[in-house]
Amino acid sequence: MNFRRIHIVLGSLILICFSVSFNTMLIDSAQVSVVLKSKKEIYTAGEEIQLNFELNTPVSTQLFLHSSFGNILLQSENGQFILPKFLSNNKGVIQYTLLHDSEQLLSGIIKVLANTNTKVQLESYIGPPSITAGGNDYTMPVIIPADIYDNPLPDSTEIVLKHQFLSNEKEEIVYTKDLIGWSTIFSYEQSGRLLLSSKVKETSSKEFSIVVFPAIPESFQINAKRKHEYADGNQIAELITSTLNDQYGNIISDGTLVTFQIKNKKGVLLKTQASTVRGIAIAKMLHPDHEDSWEIKAFVSGIAESDTIHIEYESVLDDFKVQFSENNREIIVGPLVSFMEQLIPDGATVVLRISQEDNLIDTKMTTSSNGVVTFKVSEGFYANGNYNLKIKVLGVEKQYENILMQ
Amino acid sequence: MSTWNKNIYRSVILASFLGIIILMLFGISQVLSYLNTGADRSSMLHLKLENNQVYLPKVIWKDTINPGRPIEKQTLYDIEKDYLNAWYVRQVAYQTYDTLGVDDYYTTKARQRITEPIAVNKTNGVAIHSTTINHNLLLDFYSADGQLAVLTDKNVREYQRIYKEDQLLLETEIISDYKVLLLLEDGFWRIRHLIKEEAQTIKDTINTERLVKIKEDKIYIEDSGFQIKGINYYPQKTPWDMFGDDFDSNIIEQDFDIIKTIGLNTVRVFLQYEDFGKATVKEEKLQKLQQVLDQAEAKNLKVVITLFDFYGDYSVLDWTLTHRHAEQIVNRFRTHKAIVAWDIKNEPNLDFESRGKENVLAWLGEMARQIKQFDPNHLVTIGWSDIESASLLMDEVDFVSFHYYENIDDFEDLYVSMSSQIDKPIVLQEFGLSSSRGFWNPLGASEKEQAEYYTQFREITQKQNIHYLFWTLYDFDNVPTDVAGNLPWRKHKQKYFGVIDVEGNRKEASKFIRD
């Protein structure tokens, strides 16, 4: 019982002590009272911001400032604070708290607005830098007008956007919102170069240029150009496209790759490629060395294709001579003569197939020189006996059975 | 004799020759290895390195529809990441005056606006510790070429502590809106303009229909009064590592049966911050916790979950990571019926001295607000280690928890005087006596004394109607060094707090609980 009483007494004593000390603290803070003398809440960037606090007792105070990019703490002995330039020059809300011995006396906000009376600084971003013709694709200029302190000007600042393309010159007015002003400029039907500029008040931007590339090619024609129609395996045929245009008649960009696909009589596919120059692609292909007919079609992969053309190649020789000597071990093919009975140009392929009782033993291949080819079937490799020989020149084949070699 | 001398000279010369050779080789190799170190090729280009996110305030994209162009998911992710990094490097700069990283996340003109105030703060000895709690982002504009974006960041809650010459001057929380213009430069979304605007506060609506409620100083679960009679629980084989590799739900089920049969209705379990995966909580751990909670629900036991066990970094810059940790756990179990309360941290007042009281309290206060946001259904408390700390942050918690390991004879009076000052429910969250009499502790309590201690406590708790959870179910074989330190007598003491001994026999103390 006694104990409890002591506790109660002690407890109330502590309580009294607490309340007394709390009261003194209250009195202390009540002693420093403060009024903000400068009533101005809205400033313009560049203007000096001075906050004057009237304190009833001259004590040292500190001002904590919270702004867009950071916080600082200023100290003053007389309640007067001049905000540093990096705060007063920057647009945005500044929140302040006046402190005395880490006790908050007063807090509030001031606003700094962009200075619309200074020369405008323009920052422009334009992209994409290249677009395609036809009016589906567009480029987008984004303009950030700012004052000389690099503060974006307020919403609804007027921006004059101009662009020139061929004979068109257009002007458009846009208003800033969310710090920027922007527009979309769609391409015209022609390809070419689009020039852009912008202007806010007296300040003009640099010239910006956008390349308008032609759109994708349309279907096109091809034809073949040959020196003659003979399958001599020697001349080169040119495969030529018509001028490739997009749907608006622009010649498509140089360097567009065109693939030519050739299907011959046997169904074998041959392929050659060329890039366009001024809309025309020229690919080349060696003449075949035997009678053949070609079916040719060209593609711009996945985009456009040509019509199909057919060309025929005639054989250059109908027959050729073959002489056997040295016990049939030397075989002379030729002279090989071409369509005007001239000797075939060097390099015509001649193939000799040697077989014995339906078993192919060897294939010898060589090219003509002065219209003649000589094969030597040497003893060391080919034992004496009967052989079957097949000789093929430029698509013409001759067969000799049971040739005895000794 | 002379040959002896000769041999000695010879060997000395030979040895010194060898020594010189070794030294020279060593020297040459050192020079070569020095010349080989330095800039490695990957750093020649200023490529972005894959880094761990160190700053994770809550970010909500309120709206990404904009007149410029539809935004891609990946770009949105990049913008968010770089924008948060921009905040982070700036906060680090204001705290340490080190502007490393500012160059990466601000354009040249914007950089000046950071370096100037920092220079002023440096001369004045002002350091600012700050973090943002949340960002609500609206995409105002994204340009056609994908190089420019304008955002509005609404209701940014910034927590700040301002120090002058290491003296805390001011602790503030500021809510602002920002307009942000970002440019994509060198693969970084850099801030070009950042303009603070007046916040137009939108109040988040909080659901007031709670599963667990406080009315006056009583706890109600689904509208019926609930008296906590509980235990701090660790499995016998895995103390302080309940959710580790040896997690066994069968053992936990058996233990819950035992807890139920000795007449208790609540268990308190501990989740370790690192073990659960810090800012990215491991799914595997959550599943284990799910099993525990489901079993508790099946046995009709309630659970107090203590978060952030063994967490010790309360620094402002670490806040957002801990918020994400809590978010992932608390959000997952926000509707679980077994939970009665989230205990933010075990005995945080013990960190006051080493981590700074203001650091710890500010962290706890914010964490309490965070958890209430994530989970309005359950209660929030903080497990203070002594009676003196119990009244701290009283307004932030739903009920007050404290631990008592002092003399039992003083308890009732202390409790009565404390409860007269606190008008919220009070939970005696830990108490107990170690029956550790033995070689390391000849003066320790015997099992009989332990039983008497518990009997005495039961009388008090019944008389005063106290919510209680005692420490603990089992005696432990091994106590980790993290818990009790290296000293064998400390460890020894920590091993014998249980009411069931290492062999699984019930100690006398276990009988007290059954009514």
CATH assignment at residue A378? 2.60.40
Question: What pLDDT is recorded for position A26?
Answer: 41
In DSSP terms, B189 is beta-bridged to B184
Residue B113 zone, left/alpha/beta (φ > 0; ψ -120 to 50; rest) = alpha
CB B122 within 8 A of CB B136: no
Query: Which of B381, B423, B96, B371 lies closest to B230 in space, CA to CA?
Result: B381
Q: Which two tokens stand for residue B500?
A: 């069931």
Q: What is the mean pLDDT of residues A253-268?
A: 94
- Tokens 């330095």 locate to B38
CB A184 within 8 A of CB A140: yes
The residue length of chain A stands at: 406
Q: Which of A92-101, A175-184, B37-46, B435-444 has the lowest mean pLDDT?
A: B37-46
In a domain, A4, yes or no: no
Q: Which two tokens stand for residue B321?
A: 């990571």
Question: What pLDDT is recorded for position A11?
Answer: 55
Q: How many helices (H) and strands (E) does chain B have?
A: 13, 16
ipTM of model:
0.79
In a domain, B277, yes or no: yes
In a domain, B41, yes or no: no
In a domain, B164, yes or no: yes
Restricting to A residues 126-185, those with a Cβ less than 8 Å away from any Cβ of B are: 127-129, 138-140, 142, 144, 150-152, 178-180, 182, 184
Number of domains in chain B: 2
Q: Which two tokens stand for residue A338?
A: 């071409």
Q: What residues of chain B lie within 8 A of the CB of A106, using their CB? A: none
Size of interface A-B (CB pairs under 8 A): 134
The residue length of chain B stands at: 515
Torsional sign, CA B119, B125, B128, B129:
positive
Q: Does A237 lie in the same domain as A177?
A: no
CA distance A87 to A46: 9
Range of the structural domain that residue B339 is part of: 212-512
For B197, the closest of A3, A4, A93 (CB atoms) is: A93
Q: How many CA atoms lie within 13 A of B349 on its CB side?
A: 15
Q: Does B422 lie in the same domain as B457?
A: yes
Contact check, Cβ <8 Å, B145/A180: no
In a domain, B22, yes or no: no
CA distance B206 to B208: 6
Q: What is the pLDDT of residues A128-146, one digit of tens each?
A: 999 999 999 999 999 999 9
Q: Which helix (H) or strand (E) holds A166?
A: none
Determine which of B87, B116, B198 to mutate to test the interface with A (most A C-beta atoms within 10 Å). B116
In a domain, A154, yes or no: yes
In a domain, B370, yes or no: yes
Closest chain A C-alpha to B188 CA, distance in angstroms: 17
Cα–chain center distance at B502: 31
- The amino acid that residue A222 corresponds to is I
Closest chain A C-alpha to B140 CA, distance in angstroms: 7
From A179, A213, A247, the end of a domain falls on A213
Q: Does B297 lie in the same domain as B190?
A: no
Name the pLDDT band for A114 (thresholds 50, 70, 90): very high
Q: Which two tokens stand for residue B36?
A: 């080989």
Q: Does A207 lie in the same domain as A189?
A: yes
CA distance A145 to A118: 11
Give the residue, A319 or B247, on which the prediction is more confident.
Answer: B247
From B152, B173, B197, the end of a domain falls on B197
- Tokens 């060209």 locate to A298
Give the residue on A whose Cα is nearest the Cα of B168. Answer: A102
Q: Does A286 lie in the same domain as A254?
A: yes
pLDDT, tens digit only, all 515 positions of chain B: 577 888 999 999 999 999 999 999 999 999 998 887 766 666 666 665 556 778 999 999 999 999 999 999 999 999 999 999 999 999 999 999 999 889 999 999 999 999 999 999 999 999 999 999 999 999 999 999 999 999 999 999 999 999 999 888 889 999 999 999 999 999 999 999 999 998 876 555 555 567 888 888 889 988 888 999 999 999 999 999 999 999 999 999 999 999 998 889 999 999 999 999 999 999 999 999 999 999 999 999 999 999 999 999 999 989 999 999 999 999 999 999 999 999 999 999 999 999 999 899 999 999 999 999 899 899 999 999 999 999 999 999 999 999 999 988 999 999 999 988 888 999 999 999 988 888 888 888 888 888 889 889 888 988 989 999 999 899 998 888 888 888 888 888 888 898 888 888 888 887 766 54
φ/ψ of residue B93, rounded to 5: -60, -40
In a domain, A8, yes or no: no
Q: Does B226 lie in the same domain as B86?
A: no
In a domain, A55, yes or no: yes
Q: Does B119 lie in the same domain as B248?
A: no
Q: Does A233 lie in the same domain as A262?
A: yes
Q: Does B410 lie in the same domain as B281?
A: yes
For B511, the 3-state DSSP assignment is helix
From B138, B164, B197, the end of a domain falls on B197
CA distance B286 to B284: 5
Closest chain A C-alpha to B507 CA, distance in angstroms: 35
Q: Does B142 lie in the same domain as B217?
A: no
- Measuring CA to CA, how many Å separate B231 from each of A315, A321, B162, B258, B430? 104, 113, 42, 11, 8
In a domain, A18, yes or no: no
CB B115 within 8 A of CB B90: no
Query: Which of A241, A251, A249, A318 lies closest to A272 in space, CA to CA?
Result: A241
In a domain, B37, yes or no: no
Cα–chain center distance at B398: 20
Range of the structural domain that residue A239 is part of: 222-313
From A246, A278, A313, the end of a domain falls on A313
Q: Does B322 lie in the same domain as B281?
A: yes
Question: What pLDDT is recorded for position A248?
Answer: 93
Closest chain B C-alpha to A255 CA, distance in angstroms: 25
Closest chain A C-alpha to B320 CA, distance in angstroms: 19
Q: Does B444 lie in the same domain as B421?
A: yes
For A394, the 3-state DSSP assignment is coil
Q: What residues of chain B lie within 8 A of the CB of A102, using their CB? A: 167-170
Q: Does A74 lie in the same domain as A158?
A: no
For B383, the 3-state DSSP assignment is strand
Question: What pLDDT is recorded for position A376?
Answer: 87
Q: Does A295 lie in the same domain as A248?
A: yes
CA distance A279 to A254: 6
Q: Does A276 lie in the same domain as A201?
A: no
CB A321 within 8 A of CB A264: no
Question: What pLDDT is recorded for position A7?
Answer: 59
From A193, A213, A233, the end of a domain falls on A213
- Measuring CA to CA, how many Å separate B378 from each of B115, B224, B308? 45, 15, 17
Question: What pLDDT is recorded for position A316?
Answer: 85
Establish if A113 touches chain B: CB-CB under 8 angstroms: no
In DSSP terms, B270 is beta-bridged to B306
In DSSP terms, A159 is beta-bridged to A174
CA angle centred on A218, ends A213 and A223, rounded to 5°: 115
Q: Does B287 lie in the same domain as B162?
A: no
Contact check, Cβ <8 Å, A73/B164: yes
In a domain, B34, yes or no: no
Question: What pLDDT is recorded for position B490?
Answer: 84
Give the residue, A119 or B479, on which the prediction is more confident.
Answer: A119
Number of domains in chain A: 4
In a domain, B501, yes or no: yes
Q: Does B249 lie in the same domain as B189?
A: no
Tell me the CATH number at B421.
3.20.20.80
Buried b (16+ CB within 10 A) or exposed e, B474-499: bbbeebeeeebeeeeeebbbbbbbbb
Q: Does B216 lie in the same domain as B175?
A: no
In a domain, A22, yes or no: no
Contact check, Cβ <8 Å, B117/A70: yes
Beta strands A280-286 and A236-241 are antiparallel
CA angle centred on B306, ends B304 and B307, rounded to 5°: 140
Q: Does B333 lie in the same domain as B471?
A: yes
Q: Does A81 lie in the same domain as A129?
A: no
Establish if A24 touches chain B: CB-CB under 8 angstroms: no
CA angle centred on B224, ends B220 and B225, rounded to 5°: 55
CA distance B86 to A354: 82
CB B292 within 8 A of CB B252: yes
In a domain, A11, yes or no: no
From B170, B197, B224, the end of a domain falls on B197
Question: What pLDDT is recorded for position B202?
Answer: 54
Tell me the CATH number at A45.
2.60.40.10
In a domain, A13, yes or no: no
For B141, the 3-state DSSP assignment is strand
